[in-house]
Amino acid sequence: MLQQLSAAGKKLPASLKGKVNHSVCRWCYQSIPLDDLCKAAKDIGITAIDLVGPDDWPVLRRYGLYASLSHGAGRGIEEGFNNPGLHDELVAGYAAMIPRVAAAGYSQLICFSGNRRGLDDEQGIKNCARGLKRLMKTAEQYGVTLVMELLNSKVDHPDYQCDTTEWGVALCNEVGSERFKLLYDIYHMQIMEGDVIATIRKYHRYIAHYHTGGVPGRNEIDETQELYYPAIMKAIVETGFTGFVAQEFIPQHPNPLTSLRQAIKICDVG
């Protein structure tokens, strides 16, 4: 009997359908040692860990897990590419990290717009594009995609500029490279704009990565919140998406891994 494979060709438990590449964000499980999280991920059928850096990569390799989205360059969420005064520093940091990501066998590196601080959206796009374009030749050379996260500015990240899908898409068009795309965070975009399934269908070619989370509260993605994740996941699969969907909710269950296992079951559509 053939062992079931995920869309990424990884061995899966027989209970999983194999149409979704499952990942989990490391930061949501900081209380669990990374080795233990990796062991649990393997058991559940998760094939990657999200938002990890070079110090974490050797641990992932020990368990045959992939780093679906790496970090380690830049200043973080509030200080990003919309600030021209940071461009030299950011370009140097990302130019150094991109080859490291590629050498480790990975292909995605997160980046951020930064906070507005009075900057209008049109100028923010121009500023971000100017800095990002300086990195595209390197990203293209090494086959690494810079992925800018869409975050809500209403609840969690006040003043963050890349806070709507249309703004992110406009930036993608301005940058003009297949090595710059978006992280569509379902939790954040439900808060900012709703209409999640229609937006995914319309703009899926600009999206390289997805994050989950229950609304409101960013907790479990079960019946306690307003989104119906099986339908969202079905829409993602129907676009032909072959990247990763990473669980990024903050578990409230006394055993966080119970919530993680349940989330994978919810998102594992046929």
The dihedrals phi and psi of 12, each to the nearest 5 degrees, come to -125, 155
Instruction: State the pLDDT at residue 243.
Output: 98
pLDDT averaged over every residue in the chain: 95
Among candidate residues 169, 73, 86, the one with its CA nearest the CA of residue 130: 86
Among candidate residues 214, 109, 115, the one with its CA nearest the CA of residue 157: 115
User: Residue 87: CA atoms inside 13 Å, Cβ hemisphere, count?
Assistant: 15
For residue 50, the Cα-to-chain-centroid distance in whole angstroms is 7
Amino acid letter for position 57: W
What is d(CA 1, CA 3) in angstroms, rounded to the nearest whole number?
6
Asked if residue 74 lies in contact with residue 94, where contact means CB atoms within 8 angstroms, the answer is: yes
Asked if residue 124 lies in contact with residue 113, where contact means CB atoms within 8 angstroms, the answer is: yes
Instruction: State the pLDDT at residue 15.
Output: 76
**Tokens (6 digits) for 51:** 């938002």
101-105: long-range contacts, CB 8 A cutoff, minimum separation 24:
101/70, 101/142, 101/144, 102/142, 102/143, 102/144, 104/54, 104/57, 104/67, 104/70
For residue 22, the Cα-to-chain-centroid distance in whole angstroms is 11
Q: Which CATH class is domain 21-267?
A: alpha beta
Predicted TM-score (pTM) of the model is 0.94
Q: Which residue has the tokens 């919530």?
A: 259
Amino acid letter for position 31: S
C-alpha Rg value of the chain to the nearest Å = 18
Query: Within 10 Å of residue 60's Cβ, how many Cβ atoms?
Result: 22
> What residues in the chain have per-residue pLDDT under 50?
1-3, 5
Question: Taking the domains of the chain in order of start, what are their residue ranges?
Answer: 21-267
For residue 179, the Cα-to-chain-centroid distance in whole angstroms is 15
Instruction: State the pLDDT at residue 162.
Output: 98
